[in-house]
Amino acid sequence: MDKEGEILLKPGQQIKPYVPNEVVHQLVKKLYNLEVISIKELNSYDDKNFHITVKSDALLPDIHDACPHGYVLKVLNSLDSKAYNLIDAQNEMMLYLAKMGLPCPRPVKNVDCKCMSLEHLKDAQNQPAGQYIVRLLSFVPGRILFSVPYTKELFFQVGELVAKTDLALRGFKHDGLKGVDRIWNLIAVPKLVDFVYVIQDEQKHSLSMEVIDNFKSNVLPLLEELESGPIHGDFNEQNILVKADNEEPEKYFISGMLDFGDVHSSYYLFDIAIAICYMMIECKSMDILDAPGHVLAGYNRVRPIPPKEFQLFKDCISARFSQSLVLGAYSYSQNPDPYLLTTSQRGWQCLQTLWECPKDELYNRWQGIIKQLY
């Protein structure tokens, strides 16, 4: 981290920690007095996350932290582990939103009554690898949105969730959110030029550069006119939870949110544009160009969208597609985990379809859906 808040990934940099199961057992016992009885590794780009169940909660440092559904042990990557104040902001934000009635994980206090600690870990060759932030979160039950059929109703609820979170966070303050500079922030899209070399296909490479240049010329100059505040920053299909309706089990409703690893102070436009990008990728139940309209309708119901923001949605959604596709390909080149290519399976075609559609046609389409629903 070159300066306070700057957590920029550099090409060729290896940041994911090495955490075999035996280390999970050791960390949980040492830090939380808990005996692990089952471990399931969860998907993650740069961190190591494990859903664990334990023999008994009785020895937790704070029994009020007990969770009947188990816990998630998070070992952060080497870059984020240097941003202690930012991670503290993430912890405080989860507690804040939980108190506001928005279901999300809660940090669990360790034996020192803290929500995280710095631990020395080793690499796969049993050599010292540095210090990594370790924390334990309550496990929030539910199915990830990705695992159920997408519907117009779910997209509408996704929009509502993003808007409710944005509005709730207007009252959240923490110094750790100031000046956070990381490659996954949407405002960092111009920095993708350092990573786009991994896209070998000439047409895809050209499309990525066109989207990046467009963001620089059409979005960046207008940002000072837009509303901003603390945002979640990564409402994707893996970070939104759903539950089945008790009366109609084939129907689902949004029940919670996960992963506060990308929180920062930014523009509300970016938060909803990011969510729309990921809703479009796996949308098979409707025309993908209609999907944004249903998300925007839900968002607009809670937080009316200013006209200045509406005019930038195509630019920002496309920018997130490019960002996710380029960084996913880069991460895969460093660590060939199939999860890192989730976006690419349909993402390139989605981006191409969105990019080729004229703005006026898109906005008339989306405005029509919003007016139809409200």
Q: Residue 289 burial by CB count (10 A; 0-12/13-18/19+): exposed, middle or buried?
A: middle
b/e 252-283 (16+ beta carbons within 10 angstroms → b): bebbbbbbbbbbbbbbbbbbbbbbbbbbbbbb
Q: What is the bridge-based pairing of β-strands 6-7 and 181-182? A: parallel
> Which residues have a Cβ under 8 Å from the Cβ of 144 and sit 6 or more positions away?
237, 238, 239, 240, 241, 242, 258
Q: Tell me how far apart the alpha carbons of residues 341 and 352 are, in angstroms, rounded to a whole number.
A: 17
> Cα dihedral sign for 266, 270, 274, 276?
positive
Q: Active-site residue among 88, 234, 271, 315?
A: 234
- Residues 196/282, Cβ–Cβ less than 8 Å: no
* Secondary structure class of 55 (helix, strand, coil): coil
Q: Tell me how far apart the alpha carbons of residues 306 and 164 are, in angstroms, rounded to a whole number.
A: 16
Please confirm, yes or no, whether 287 is among the known catalytic residues.
Answer: no
Element (H, E) at 181: strand 181-182
- Residues 278/284, Cβ–Cβ less than 8 Å: no
List active site positions: 234
